[in-house]
């Protein structure tokens, strides 16, 4: 009898101790889970603030930091723009590189052929004014040596005459030439599928600190316009997308900004049809001033450019019919359908399939 009571007490004591142990374990688990959730939401809060709170923004041209002017000869090709109007106060790549402190001093220039042996190319000063450790891969299908003769002749600068397509850019260029995932500058100037090529590169995990490319200014913010790449047709279009009479030669500023923002790149500069994007964290850490939005950048950098009044006859920069159509329907529900009735008349035709070039147009 006594033994049974003692055993029951011991059993009860054991059960109570087990319960207390389980309770402590559950409490510890709850504390651990609560701590993890707290740290997660704290990180997300800081990340959101980091992503959406720019350090230094300009809203009006008067607030924009003035920089030394220089002559950008590349913009002289737009039309009869006099030399004294070619001055620009936009960021030069060489000035930005000096602030970035490159982690891997290397650039990729897609569309490197240029008049005067490349001297008008925006990457040229980077390769000639920095030390010789700055390497480059210069890509252009044009084999004319006079278009590359100005670039420095050194072992860490290579020239390849390849066509660049969305589906082959990674295996044929980046993997073949063993390009590092991290490098300094990616410049893309192909007058056609900049958005598609950039998306392929970034989706593959490559992260340049800075992206220099071109946009189609015929479609102002907030219009999203993109020619849709078809790997079965490629450049089999008449007229070619890059032809002087085609408004299809690239994606709009808003389309480009939306794409690059999804990979954490922020618009820093619009200089006529040229644009510069930089990794968001670098913009914050270096305190680089940025425009408040695409519209402000477009109005200052494109519409306000000193060459614009002389280049309005260039249909790659301005199209009165398209502008009027956008203005009249921008706030209407039928915007996309109406714009297609206008743009279909400009769409290049495939020589092989006789079909019109596909595109996206929306707001």
Which residue carries 């000639």 as its tokens?
Answer: 128
- pLDDT, tens digit, for every residue of 194-247? 999 999 999 999 999 999 999 999 999 999 999 999 998 888 899 888 887 788
Q: In sequence order, which ranges of 62-210 are alpha helices (DSSP H)? A: 93-100, 124-129, 169, 194-203
Could you check whether the bond before residue 301 is cis, i.e. omega within 30 degrees of 0? no
How many percent of the chain have pLDDT more than 90? Answer: 68
Report pLDDT for 130. Answer: 77
* Beta bridge mates, 136: 107, 157
Cβ atoms 173, 139 nearer than 8 A: yes
| Alpha carbon distance 312, 310 (integer Å) | 6
Strands 359-362 and 224-227: antiparallel
Cβ neighbours, 10 Å, residue 295: 14
Mean local confidence (pLDDT), 302-315? 91
- pLDDT, tens digit, for every residue of 237-288? 998 888 877 889 899 999 999 999 999 999 999 999 999 999 999 999 999 9
| Alpha carbon distance 102, 191 (integer Å) | 28
- pLDDT, tens digit, for every residue of 69-103? 998 888 887 878 888 888 899 999 999 999 998 88
Residue of 58, 46, 101, 55 lying closest to 287 (CA atoms): 55
pTM flag (> 0.75): yes
């Amino acid at each position: 009898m006594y033994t049974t009571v003692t055993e029951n007490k011991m059993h009860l004591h054991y059960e109570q101790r087990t319960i207390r142990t389980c309770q402590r374990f559950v409490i510890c688990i709850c504390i651990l889970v609560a701590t993890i959730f707290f740290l997660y939401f704290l990180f997300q809060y800081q990340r959101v603030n980091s992503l959406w709170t720019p350090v230094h923004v300009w809203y009006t041209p008067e607030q924009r930091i003035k920089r030394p002017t220089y002559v950008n000869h590349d913009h002289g090709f737009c039309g009869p723009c006099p030399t004294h109007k070619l001055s620009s106060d936009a960021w030069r790549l060489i000035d930005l590189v000096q602030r970035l402190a490159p982690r891997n001093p290397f650039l990729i220039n897609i569309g490197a052929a240029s008049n005067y042996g490349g001297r008008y190319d925006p990457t040229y000063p980077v390769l000639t004014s920095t030390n010789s450790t700055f390497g480059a891969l210069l890509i252009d299908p044009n084999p004319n040596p006079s278009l590359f003769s100005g670039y420095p002749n050194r072992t860490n600068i290579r020239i390849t005459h390849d066509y660049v397509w969305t589906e082959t850019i990674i295996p044929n260029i980046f993997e073949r030439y063993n390009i590092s995932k991290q490098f300094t500058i990616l410049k893309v100037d192909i007058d056609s599928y900049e958005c598609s090529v950039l998306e392929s590169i970034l989706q593959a995990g490559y992260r340049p600190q800075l992206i220099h490319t071109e946009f189609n200014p015929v479609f102002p913010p907030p219009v999203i316009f993109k020619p849709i790449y078809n790997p079965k047709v490629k450049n089999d279009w008449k007229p070619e997308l890059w032809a002087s009479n085609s408004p299809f030669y690239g994606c709009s500023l808003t389309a480009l900004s939306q794409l690059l923002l999804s990979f954490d790149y922020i618009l820093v500069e619009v200089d006529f049809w040229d644009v510069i994007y930089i990794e968001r964290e670098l913009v914050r850490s270096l305190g680089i001033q940025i425009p408040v939005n695409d519209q402000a950048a477009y109005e200052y950098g494109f519409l306000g450019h000193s060459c614009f009044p002389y280049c309005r006859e260039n249909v790659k920069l301005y199209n009165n019919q398209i502008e009027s159509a956008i203005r009249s329907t921008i706030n209407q529900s039928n915007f996309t359908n109406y714009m297609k009735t206008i743009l279909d008349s400009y769409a290049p035709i495939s020589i092989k399939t006789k079909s019109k070039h596909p595109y996206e147009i929306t707001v």
